[in-house]
Amino acid sequence: KSGKAVYFNNPMWPGEAHSIKVEKILYKEKSEYQEVLVFESSMYGNVLVLDGIVQLTERDECAYQEMIAHLPLCSIHSPKNVLVVGGGDGGVLREVARHSSVEHIDICEIDKMVIDVSRKFFPQLAVGFEDSRVHLHVGDAVDFLKSAPEGKYDAIIVDSSDPVGPAQELVEKPFFDTIARALRPGGVLCNMAESMWLHTHLIQDMISICRETFKGSVRYAWASVPTYPSGMIGFILCATEGPPVDFVNPINPIEKLEGANEHKRELQFYNSEMHSAAFALPAFLKREVSLL
Ligand code: AAT
């Protein structure tokens, strides 16, 4: 009884719930920040759930991790310094590591339990931590970015949870200010940005904050991810003032990157066609968030 009430009352999608059949609960603990649950499903492999919200499944994680990493990294020439915010499962690191131009990858994840659980139950994501370019920082990304050196990063990828728990501040203006400061001129941000069906207002707010903060281009892209609310997820892409960035037409196409597709596992979802197509938006969204 109470379980149902919890899932249908999530303020991010009131009155809605998506169900995935549980074969076996593999792990359930309260960390300092959230409830961490891993279960084996019948159709989607192992599933990671934080505070009752699906963060990833083995079956469809490829769509989210590949898009959030390659949309920004294929939009600039030879990215070298990259920061991942959140992403404690390691999946985004695995994707960033395909780019041989990258020399240094910082990751700032708040919850060590997510990292430990991923190492145990999601080895094909946690493999991302094994790359020698990766430097792990366990802590709040808000603090990490406040003290990050100015202009250090070519790209920042915000792979964070929904803004109801520890990720609350990650959708607010002061956080975006620290990101813009930490990026080099012409550097890029790719930020997880919810569902256009459920969160038009949140997307609108994030886009107006980003337009104020980043003086280069600001665009919205999306991809199909069946186990996320409404079956899709969006991304906001922003560039700081500097060499102009055309997000829609990748200047650093993955197909030309040496070894990117042989790197331990083949790409499952991302290619240059998916990249450009991701920026095509439905009429209602263009109108409501006044996107070009
Ligand atoms: N890779 C896909 C999964 C995620 S995980 C998001 C991560 O962000 C979690 O591990 C969470 O602990 C971390 N996080 C949350 N707040 C902070 C913070 N303030 N600083 C650093 N890390 C943080 C994303 C799934 C998207 C789900 C969409 N519905």
> What is the pLDDT tens value at each position of the chain, 292 positions in all?
456 666 777 888 888 888 999 999 999 999 999 999 999 999 999 999 999 999 999 999 999 999 999 999 999 999 999 999 999 999 999 999 999 999 999 999 999 999 999 999 999 999 999 999 999 999 999 999 999 999 999 999 999 988 887 888 998 999 999 999 999 999 999 999 999 999 888 899 999 999 999 998 999 999 999 999 999 999 999 999 999 999 999 999 999 988 787 767 899 999 999 999 999 999 999 988 776 5
Ligand 1 geometric centre to CA of 160 (Å): 3
**Helix, strand, coil fractions of the chain, as percent rounded to 5:** 35, 25, 40
Task: Please indicate whether residue 115, judged by its CB atom, sits closer than 6 Å to ligand 1.
Answer: no
Q: Locate 223 and state its tokens.
A: 């991809």
202-253 pLDDT tens trace:
899 999 999 999 998 999 999 999 999 999 999 999 999 999 999 999 999 9
The strand pair at 104-109 and 81-86 is best described as parallel
Q: Tell me the C-alpha distance between 3 and 35, whole Å.
A: 14
Could you give the angle at which helices 200-213 and 173-182 cross, rounded to 10 degrees? 40
Sign of CA dihedral 213, 194, 265, 131: positive
Q: Is 79 in the pocket of ligand 1 (CB under 6 A)?
A: no
Taking the C-alpha atoms of residue 156 and residue 183, their distance in angstroms, rounded to an integer, is: 7
Strands, E, within the chain: which ranges? 22-30, 35-41, 46-50, 53-57, 81-86, 104-109, 134-138, 153-159, 183-192, 218-224, 232-239
Q: Candidates 32, 55, 157, 164: which one to mutate for ligand 1, based on the most atoms within 8 Å of Cβ?
A: 55
8 Cβ contact list (under 8 Å, min separation 6): 14, 15, 16, 17
Q: Taking a C-beta distance cutoff of 8 angstroms, is the pair 154, 188 a contact? A: yes
Are 175 and 207 in contact, with CB atoms under 8 Å apart? no
Q: Which residues are catalytic?
A: 159
Collapse the DSSP code of 196 into the 3-class scheme (helix H, G, I; strand E, B; otherwise coil) and give the result.
Answer: coil
What pLDDT, in 10s, does the model give residues 144-171? Answer: 999 999 999 999 999 998 888 788 899 8
Atom from ligand 1 closest to the CA of residue 65: 1
Is the CB–ligand 1 distance for residue 81 below 6 Å? no
Q: Does the Cβ of 179 fall within 6 Å of ligand 1?
A: no
The secondary element (H helix, E strand) that includes residue 257 is: none
Q: What is the pTM of this model?
A: 0.96
Ligand 1, from 48, 109, 196, 225: best to mutate by most atoms within 8 Å of Cβ?
109
Using CB atoms within 10 A of its CB, is residue 112 exposed (0-12), middle (13-18) or buried (19+)?
A: middle
